[in-house]
Structure 1
Amino acid sequence: MTSVELINIEKHYGGYHALRDVNLTIEEGEFVVMVGPSGCGKSTLLKTIAGLETTSAGTLRISGRDVTGLEPGDRGIAMVFQSYALYPHMTVAENMGFGLRMAKRPKAEIEAAVARAARILRLEEQLEKKPKQLSGGQRQRVAIGRAITRSPDVFLFDEPLSNLDAALRTQMRVELSTLHAELGSTMIYVTHDQVEAMTMASRIVVLNRGRIEQVGAPLDLYNNPENMFVAGFLGAPRMNFVAGRVTEASGSSARVVCAGGLDVGFEALVEKMSVGDAVTLGIRPERLRLDDAAARIRFTGSVRLTEYLGRETIVYVDAGPLVTTGSDSGTNVFTVQIADVRPFHNGSAVSLGFDPADAYLFAADGRTITHPKAVAKI
């Protein structure tokens, strides 16, 4: 059953076009995460679903009902904000049951709903405490509990973990995923943190300048981005991009040469290329290999900086005449991610390599033109 349906949604603020022809269907029980850079429209879209923003055009349906013109309280949604927004003079139990009290629900129903939410969120021992006596993670759980007690058709989360420290964010990611599995409810979650998106979502919606760039399962989007924007946005460290031109083309094959002499042959492209076409080669940091004589494509550079992260090592390599793109200004630094800890000295010479099958090729307009890569089944 379809839980949320967005049809040709538009949103204008005067001359500013915040949402552009947004079409999205979310099935019942999905955990959908919306990501994108600041100003992409993800929070505006969430608030439009909630009814906190009106649409300039289009139709919004929740559980089959047209709610486009309905007030937030009539839409069957509950929203959890970045700010906990708890009443400091109320206990945890009173905060969690506040919405039901305002709806004049029977006392027994309120107590049962609060008890159920407290059990799910492991807050039974905190019910008589005031918010100031709780940790940040506990306060966020209370805010989520307030939403649970309303038994909504759809849960909306607007960057709920951004105020927490790194350890608490990790803990709350696990708790929210567990909560979704237990409730089986439809959840729509907005974040700027791609790690949250990759680890929590059943599907990710990538937005850019008010448009949906791509929708899909996390690994599908990571392995098979439809364009250069999605490829560069998903992944930390981000994908390395190098500008090049097609020097040979035959059927679905092409040879690409980049500035500095990097020469890569591509097979099974999804469309034919022509000699002289401008393209961009992409390779993820974890697919670059250091000092590996078996790599089919190799070039040299020198270590500029090394970051030791315990479980992995990030090496920034100055590749001289090779210029990476995809940012405001070009640079000749490649990012390499190694799944162990190895010592490197700044300035030391290294060889970088990769296999063409691991590389991506993007057309001049940013479209991915390499054949889709296999995705491991989970």
Structure 2
Amino acid sequence: MKSVELTNVEKHYSGFHALKDINLTIEKGEFIVMVGPSGCGKSTLLKTIAGLETVTSGTLTINGRDVTKEEPGDRGIAMVFQSYALYPHMTVGENMGFGLKMAKRPRAEIDAAVKRAAEILRITEQLDKRPKQLSGGQRQRVAIGRAITRSPEVFLFDEPLSNLDAALRTQMRVELSTLHAELGSTMIYVTHDQVEAMTMASRIVVLNKGAIEQVGSPLELYANPINHFVAGFLGAPRMNFFEGRIVTVSGGRVSVTVEGLPELQFADIADVKLSVGDKVKVGVRPERLKTGEQTGDASFDAKIRLIEHLGRETILHVDGSPVVTTGSDTGTQNITVQLGDVVAFSNGQSVKVNFDLSDAYLFGPDGKTITPAKAATRT
């Protein structure tokens, strides 16, 4: 059953095109996470769904009802912001029940809703306290509880965990996922944190410059990015991109040269128009690069610039002969290698880095992925 549907939604601000032809269908009970770089339109899109922003054109329906021109309070949504926005002079219980009080609901109904929300969020013992007596995580629970008491059709979250420290963010991710499972409600969540997106979402919506680039499950988007932008945005450390040029094209096979690497032979390439001399990019995720003398389809010599020991993994920043492109497409020789476990290396050490072509991606001149789809889970 469709919970939220946006059709050809556009948003303009005095000549600035903030949202471009947004078409998105969200099923009832989904946990949708919207990600993208700063200024991509994700918060604007969330506020549009909430009714805090009006659309320039297009339609928005919630549970089959056209709410495009309805006020926020009439849309059946509840929103949780980055700031807790709690009233300091009210108790936790009063803050949580305030929306129902303003709606002039019976006292017994308000008390029952607050009690239920407090039990779900495990803050029953905090109901008589003031916000200043609570930790950041507890205050965020109160803000979420205020949304729960309204029994909305759709929950909207605008970077609700960004004010919390790392440990609390991890804890709250688990609690929000548990809350979603318990309530079975539709939740739409905006974040800049890839870990939140990958761990919490039923589907991820990747936005760029006001448009949707790709929608899909976390593992599907990670394994099969539709283009160079999505491939580079999802994943930390970021995918390595090597500048290449096509030297031969024969049916579904192309040969690509990358400075510092042997000629790369890609098969089963998508049916797109390619020509000898076209500039392309070869992408390899850091965890798919190997060190040592293992045999791979391609290898190169490198020198370690920096080592990051993270306990469960070791990240090497190495200087190699292939030219790597950064987000601004400037050339560098810094390549990222992600290795499992703690590995004994030292700065300045020479290493051989290699990879298999089955782990590599080829992006055409227009940035679109042209290598075959990969399994979402691989060994």
Q: Scaled by the length of structure 1, what TM-score is found?
A: 0.98
CA shift at 1:344, angstroms? 1.3
| Correspondence 1:220-369 to 2 at 5 A | 220-272=220-272, 273-320=274-321, 322-328=322-328, 329-369=330-370
**4+ residue stretches of structure 1 with deviation over 3 A?**
none
Q: Distance in 2 between matches of 1:259 and 1:68?
A: 53
Are 2:50 and 1:55 aligned? no
Match of 2:375 in 1: 374
| Correspondence 1:140-219 to 2 at 5 A | 140-219=140-219
Amino acid at match of 2:21: D
> What per-residue deviation string (whole Å, max 9, x for no partner) do you get for residues 33-69 of structure 1?
0000000000000000000000011100011110000
> What per-residue deviation string (whole Å, max 9, x for no partner) do you get for residues 63-119 of structure 1?
111000000000000000000000011111000000000000001100110010001
Q: Distance in 1 between matches of 2:261 and 2:358?
A: 19
| Correspondence 1:14-29 to 2 at 5 A | 14-29=14-29
Match of 1:8 in 2: 8
> What per-residue deviation string (whole Å, max 9, x for no partner) do you get for residues 165-208 of structure 1?
00000000000000000000000000001110000000000000
Amino acid at match of 2:81: F
Please give the secondary structure, in 2, of the residue aligned with 1:319: strand
Aligned residue pair count: 376
Amino acid at match of 2:336: T
> What per-residue deviation string (whole Å, max 9, x for no partner) do you get for residues 309-336 of structure 1?
111000011003x210132222101100
Amino acid at match of 2:372: H
Residues 326 and 332, structure 2, Cα contact 8 Å, conserved in 1: no
Please give the secondary structure, in 2, of the residue aligned with 1:90: coil
Please give the secondary structure, in 2, of the residue aligned with 1:163: coil
Q: Distance in 1 between matches of 2:66 and 2:12?
A: 21
CA shift at 1:274, angstroms? 2.8
Please give the secondary structure, in 2, of the residue aligned with 1:97: helix
Q: Distance in 1 between matches of 2:264 and 2:300?
A: 11
Task: Give the unaligned 5+ runs of structure 2.
Answer: none
Give RMSD over aligned pairs. 1.0
Q: Distance in 2 between matches of 1:67 and 1:131?
A: 34
Q: Distance in 1 between matches of 2:305 and 2:327?
A: 19
Task: Give the unaligned 5+ runs of structure 1.
Answer: none
Identity of matched residues, %: 70
Question: Which stretch shows the higher mean deviation, 342-351 or 177-186?
Answer: 342-351
Q: Distance in 2 between matches of 1:362 and 1:292?
A: 28
Q: Distance in 2 between matches of 1:270 and 1:184?
A: 39
CA shift at 1:231, angstroms? 0.2
CA shift at 1:260, angstroms? 2.6
Q: Distance in 1 between matches of 2:267 and 2:358?
A: 8
